[in-house]
Amino acid sequence: MTLLQPFSALVLWISLMMVMSSVNTDKPEENRYSCPVIQCSAPAVNGLPGRDGRDGPKGEKGDPGEGLRGLQGFPGKAGPPGMKGDVGPRGEKGQKGEQGIVASDGLQRQVTALETKLKVLEDELNRYKNALILKNIRSIGKKMFVSTGNQDTFENGKSLCARAGSTLASPRNDAENTALKDLVRPARQAHIGISDAQTEGRFVYLSGGAVTYSKWNTGEPNNLRNEDCVVMHESGKWNDVDCSNTQALIICEF
């Protein structure tokens, strides 16, 4: 009897503890130690990727969106011309324009008379030109050599040609030298528009430019007696002479 009482008490105490553990566990003290199974477990390891699924059936077309319309693109290339259209209706007749200026009979007669007079002058000029060419003018390219028929010094020859609006003849090539030679023959020699008066031995044209063509005779120029001017002989060759020489023909060039 004495032994059964402690055993009964132990069984009762165990039963009481089991009852208490099955009672509601929503106590703050117990919640503090509770945790989900996933959180409290060890970190999981990723498995192998699964197989790709099959494409499903195509869905129905959705409603048009409400986005903003894009900017208009650049115009394309022009296409081939179309067929010619029908002629359109004739437009209305425009207003009458202003009357033009009509030349009077008197003005027309004056114009005709001037044209006739100009033609006569041209013909007369051509006759004079042809006559002079037969006597003392030689044309070569755009240049024309005109003999004055006078013999004088170099300085007087320059002045004479200047008053006529020209200069002393200065051939620049063989063709011009030959044309000038044809005018020299009656006088045996003629002045040429070059000299070395400013710098001895440096012959220049009257314009100051260096001489680019020459036809010197053998041994010339020699400045034998302070000779600063040049003459052409009937042979076409050149000699330096004294500028005061009065036995040389004056030939101008235009």
Helix (H), strand (E), coil (C) string for 89-138? CCCCCCCCCCCCCCCCHHHHHHHHHHHHHHHHHHHHHHHHHHHHHHHCEE
Note the pLDDT of residue 54.
78
C-beta of residue 195 within 8 angstroms of C-beta of residue 229: yes
More confident site: 74 or 244 = 244
Q: Report the candidate in 111, 80, 232, 116 with the shortest Cα–Cα distance to residue 169.
A: 232
Does the pLDDT at position 83 exceed 50?
yes
118-151 confidence digits (pLDDT tens): 999 998 887 766 655 556 888 898 899 999 999 9
Taking domain 147-253, whether its CATH number is 2.40.50.100 is answered by: no
Confidence label for 44 from pLDDT (cuts 50, 70 and 90): low
Could you give the CA distance from residue 4 to residue 145 in angstroms, rounded to a whole number? 172
Note the pLDDT of residue 185.
81
Tokens of 97: 């324009």
Phi and psi of 11, rounded to 5°?
-65, -40
What CA–CA distances, in Å, run from 12 to 5, 6, 7, 8, 55? 10, 10, 9, 6, 67
Least confident of 94-108, 114-128, 199-213, 223-237: 94-108
Note the pLDDT of residue 33.
44
Least confident of 67-76, 221-230, 233-242: 67-76
pTM of the model: 0.50
Note the pLDDT of residue 63.
78
152-211 confidence digits (pLDDT tens): 999 999 999 999 899 999 999 999 999 999 999 877 899 999 999 999 999 999 999 999
Q: What is the mean pLDDT of residues 86-96?
A: 84
Phi and psi of 37, rounded to 5°?
-65, -40
Look at the block and give the residue holding tokens 């699924």.
53
C-beta of residue 232 within 8 angstroms of C-beta of residue 168: no
3-state secondary structure of 251: strand
Does the pLDDT at position 88 exceed 50?
yes
Within 10 angstroms of residue 130's Cβ, the number of other Cβ atoms is 10
3-state secondary structure of 216: strand
Does the pLDDT at position 46 exceed 80?
no
More confident site: 95 or 186 = 95
Could you give the CA distance from residue 132 to residue 148 in angstroms, rounded to a whole number? 11
User: First-to-last CA distance in the chain?
Assistant: 173
Q: What is the mean pLDDT of residues 27-35?
A: 46
